[in-house]
Structure 1
C-alpha cells in the first residue's frame, strides 16, 4: 500500500554526504540520515528514479532549487532529494547541480524507504533494476504526511513538482 496523507513516515535510515565545500571532488564518509531526525520539523522529500537522468536532472531538481527561498518562507526546514543509489553518486550529483547546502541528496541504497512507503518502481525493462523510486514529492510535518503527489507518467513532473508542493503548503 502506498503512503498517504495522515500516515507517519517510516523509521528508516538513508545515507548522505553532508555538504562540505572543501570536498569539491569527493564525498567524505557518508553519514546516516535517520528519518526520525525530522521529528518536529517540516520537510519535503522528493523522490526520483535516478541521479543524472534527464527529467530528474533537468527539471525536478532545478525546480526545487529555484523555489528554495519560497519553501523556507513557508516554514520548510529541509528539502531532501531521494534516489535508490549510493551516497557517493548522490553527493556527486548534488555537487554537479551546484545546489550546495540547499537540498540534501539522500541515498536510499537498499530501497528501504521506497519499499516501506509503497513508492518502489520496477525499471528492469529500462535496465535500471527493480528497486527504483517512483517520481514523487511529499510534505511531512513532525513526521506526518501532509501532502503527497505521485506521478503516473515517470518522465513528466506535475504533482511532484515544486509548484504543486508550494500550492499545497
Structure 2
C-alpha cells in the first residue's frame, strides 16, 4: 500500500470535471498543489453516496481554507457512471472525479480489494490521502464499515494538526 513519502504513480485515468471528461494520468492530476484524494468502493453505493461524498461537498470551503487546492474522488466505476454520480450529487463545481474503470490506479496505490463475493469485482477500499506536490503526506484507510478516518472532518483535523 502507498505510504507517506511515496510519489503518486503515473497511471492512465479519466478525469471528470465541470469542463468534461479528459484522458490523462494520475500524476498529472494529483501532482500539483495540496490535493485530497478519497477513494470509495462505488458510485451510488449507499455509504459512498449518502455519507462519504457529501462530507467532502459540504466541507469543500473549509478544506480550501486549510490550503487544499483540489479535492478528488476516485472509484473503479467507468467515466459514464462517475459523471452521472457527480451530476446527481451536484458536485461537479466543487470536486473532481477520477474514473479508474480497470482498477489500474487502485492496484498501483495498493488500495484495491476484491469484492467478487458481492458480485462487484475489484474495487477501492475506503481511503483518503493528503498529497503535496505529488508526494503522499498522510494515508487513512477505514478498517471497519462506515466512515470515521476518511471523511472530510477527519481530513480537516489532520490538516489542522499539520499546520
Same fold, TM exceeding 0.5?
Answer: yes
- Counterpart in the other structure of 2:151: 161
Q: Of the candidates 33, 38, 46, which is equivalent to residue 54 of structure 1?
A: 46
- Counterpart in the other structure of 2:31: 39
- Counterpart in the other structure of 1:24: none
Point out 4+ residue stretches in structure 1 off by more than 6 angstroms.
none
- Counterpart in the other structure of 1:76: 68
The TM-score with structure 2 as length reference comes to 0.92
Residue segments in structure 2 that go unaligned for 5+ positions in a row: none
Instruction: Give the Cα–Cα distance (whole angstroms) in 1 for the partners of residues 75 and 32 of structure 2.
Output: 24
Instruction: Give the Cα–Cα distance (whole angstroms) in 1 for the partners of residues 138 and 110 of structure 2.
Output: 15
- Counterpart in the other structure of 1:96: 88
Instruction: Give the Cα–Cα distance (whole angstroms) in 2 for the partners of residues 109 and 44 of structure 1.
Output: 20
Q: Aligned-pair RMSD on alpha carbons?
A: 1.2
The TM-score with structure 1 as length reference comes to 0.89
- Counterpart in the other structure of 1:121: 113
How far did residue 101 of structure 1 move?
Answer: 1.7
How far did residue 116 of structure 1 move?
Answer: 0.6
Instruction: Give the Cα–Cα distance (whole angstroms) in 1 for the partners of residues 104 and 110 of structure 2.
Output: 10
**Count of residues in Structure 1 that have an aligned counterpart in Structure 2:** 158
Residue segments in structure 1 that go unaligned for 5+ positions in a row: 21-27
Structure having the larger proportion of residues in strand: 2
Instruction: Give the Cα–Cα distance (whole angstroms) in 2 for the partners of residues 165 and 136 of structure 1.
Output: 11
SS of 1:17's equivalent in the other structure is: strand
* Deviates further, 96-105 or 75-84: 96-105
- Counterpart in the other structure of 2:129: 138
